[in-house]
Amino acid sequence: VARARVAVERVAVGRVAVERTLRCASLRSRTTCETAQMRRAFAGDPSAQRACAIAALDVTRANGSSTVTRCYAEYPMKYLTPKRGIDGDCDCAWAYAVNMGGGLVSGDASGTTIRVDDGCALVLATQGTQKVYKHNKRRWDECEKADEGVGRSGVGETTSALYASVGDGGLLALLPDPTQLFSGAVFRQTQTIDIHENGSCVCVDWITAGRVGYGNERWAFERADVRTRVMANDDPVVIEATRLEASSRDSLHANVSLALRMGAVNVFASLIIVGSRVQDLAKSCGDWACASATRHMAQGGASWVRASPDALTQTDPRSTLFVTASDLPLPYPGVVLRFFAADSESVLDVLRKLLAPLASQLGAPPYDERGGS
């Protein structure tokens, strides 16, 4: 009997070892596949590939709920992964991206690769604004001399990249704080979200004018190039791109600064909502945007945009935000909202209001999970 028990225990231990080996092999296979997909998404962009290799997040189903099963980050990136949101019964994992260096400097590459498994949900948020500091002109020139034949747009710039894959019935919510570009900064951000035909995503992306209160340092950076792509079955669903440059390519405005061209706008933001899990949210946001635009057009539209920033102190605060909406064609229901605002608080209040229905799926109200701070 004792020998039989020992034999049974050995068989059990062997079975556990085999299962562990198979899980490790499966993880390595998925990781290799994700790396190949990421490299294909950023083909010809080594800076983005290098940035996405800095950190990784995997969300899979463990013990019946969405769980962060892989969390890897290199300095200066770090991820905080609380066990649950405010509603502990909600099936959604949360992660907060933290930059231990306090911001990005010239030549930095920061990013992550994310995988959300079938039926899982993930919220990726931040603990504060992403700061992009002044561009190092000397480093820029030295890099150009060393890399002849490489375009100026790809040398010495600060790069942020993200690649995410969302499985069948999965949901990814990217809810960062705004990016703040300091005077002289050169910044490029590229994001690719590859969703299953039944997957969903909510993506917020916004840029502020900089340190407006610091000697009126408005739109004083050299360049900001921000691009977000949402793909489904290798077909583009959304390609949202914004490029702001200190020097205008238009000969009529060649000598007009970016601050003057932006008028009274201090914040530009976009909200992308795609997928069946957020179909009702997309409709409600689209309806709100249409109603808001109609109301503003009856009151002079976005005429305040061309006004002097100092003149806005005498206007109705509700007139200092303008929104446009673009519905996405079937079979991928969704909407893209674009905000132009005089201050980030106005955009934050609107995002809290529009995304509040997501609390039932995420376990906490977006941008209000920290007590409304």
Q: What integer pLDDT is reported at residue 73 of this predicted model?
A: 94
Q: What integer pLDDT is reported at residue 295 of this predicted model?
A: 82
Residues of the chain with pLDDT below 70 are: 1, 6-9, 11-34, 84-88, 137-155, 249-254, 299-319, 370-373
Q: What integer pLDDT is reported at residue 151 of this predicted model?
A: 42
Residue 165 CA to residue 39 CA, distance in Å, equals 13
Q: Pick the closest to residue 209 from 373, 352, 346, 341 (CA basis).
A: 341
Phi and psi dihedrals of 170, rounded to 5? -85, 165
Helices 344-355 & 279-298, crossing angle to 10 degrees?
140
Q: What integer pLDDT is reported at residue 168 of this predicted model?
A: 95
Phi and psi dihedrals of 251, rounded to 5? -60, -25
pTM of the model: 0.84
Strands 171-175 and 200-208, sheet pairing: parallel
Name the DSSP letter for residue 265. -
Q: What integer pLDDT is reported at residue 264 of this predicted model?
A: 85
Q: What is the dihedral of CA 27, 29, 32, 37, to 10 degrees?
A: -100
Residue 373 CA to residue 369 CA, distance in Å, equals 9
Q: Cα separations (Å) of 129 from 38, 125, 226, 313?
A: 26, 11, 16, 25
DSSP element (H, E) containing 231 = strand 223-232
Strands across the sheet with 109-116, in order?
Answer: 65-73, 55-62, 109-116, 158-166, 186-195, 223-232, 235-245
Q: What integer pLDDT is reported at residue 138 of this predicted model?
A: 56
Q: What integer pLDDT is reported at residue 373 of this predicted model?
A: 36
Q: What integer pLDDT is reported at residue 372 of this predicted model?
A: 41
